[in-house]
Chain A
Amino acid sequence: EVQLLESGGALVQPGGSLRLSCVASGFSFSSYTMSWVRQTPGKGLEWVSAISSSGVSTYNVDSVKGRFTLSRDNSKNTLYLQMTSLRADDTAVYYCATGRSYYDSWGQGALVTVSS
């Protein structure tokens, strides 16, 4: 059974930084492109970032370019999203998900709140 477990969500001040992690199990993690998708009540679901199976290639939505960095450690079956220069509109539940296109499996989500 595919399992994705996010951690690292927190309350952070505007301009601050945070790192989310996603530990995967139940599938061949190193063979999959992985993504982060966020959800807010106002803007709905939004694809944020994706990384190739090897980690060589990453892709980001324009609104997070230069601020968010996606990486992975295939030896630890773990995905990381380093977020810097956080803004109020980054407040969301962040999901890690398998694939980039449609998303087969999702984690339970990590809540990131950016507020002073």
Chain B
Amino acid sequence: EIVLTQSPGTLSLSPGERATLSCRASQSVSGSYLAWYQQQPGQAPRLLIYGASSRATGIPDRFSGSGSGTDFTLTISRLESEDFAVYFCQQYGTSPETFGQGTKLEIK
């Protein structure tokens, strides 16, 4: 199965700053079938990005995804208070679908 490694494990930033989260796959992700989710404490994950770069319905445009092959990035252009959470990447190009271990975005 494809292993996804997210970095950094924890990212400490201030509101208004730019966040860059990385997701690296152990082998090429077919069709750029890569999604990103945000999870707040005690809540279910929320879909942010699918197809590596397409924003899900209702997701603000400060969230953007990029990448292909084995390297993908989630960028949050200007952090707002509600953006501090855990972020997961997921590949769905090869069965079984697999998730990264997460990056915690915390307030500095």
Chain A residues with CB under 8 Å of chain B are: 44-47, 59, 61-62, 95, 100-109
Distance in angstroms from A24 CB to nearest chain B CB is 14
- By DSSP majority rule, is chain A's interface helix, strand, loop, or mixed? loop
16 A-B contact pairs sorted by A residue (CB < 8 Å): A44-B99, A45-B45, A45-B88, A45-B99, A47-B98, A62-B96, A101-B33, A102-B35, A102-B90, A102-B92, A104-B56, A104-B57, A105-B47, A106-B45, A106-B46, A108-B44
Q: Which of A45, A102, A105, A107 contacts B50 (CB 8 A)?
A: A102
In the docked arrangement, what's the CA distance between A91 and B35, Å? 25
CB neighbours (8 Å) of A59 from chain B are 95
In the docked arrangement, what's the CA distance between A103 and B46, Å? 8
- By DSSP majority rule, is chain B's interface helix, strand, loop, or mixed? loop
Q: B84-108 vs A: 1/0 string, CB under 8 Å?
A: 0000101010011111111000000
Q: Which of B43, B50, B97, B102 contacts A44 (CB 8 A)?
A: B102
Apart from A44-B88, A101-B92, A104-B57, what 11 extra A-B contacts exist at CB < 8 Å?
A45-B45, A45-B88, A46-B99, A62-B96, A95-B44, A102-B33, A102-B92, A106-B44, A106-B45, A106-B46, A108-B43
How many residues of chain B are within 8 Å of chain A by beta carbon? 22
Distance in angstroms from B35 CB to nearest chain A CB is 4
CB neighbours (8 Å) of B56 from chain A are 104
CB neighbours (8 Å) of B97 from chain A are 47, 100-101
Distance in angstroms from A32 CB to nearest chain B CB is 14
The 4 closest A-B pairs by CB, nearest first: A106-B44, A102-B35, A45-B99, A101-B92
In the docked arrangement, what's the CA distance between A109 and B39, Å? 13
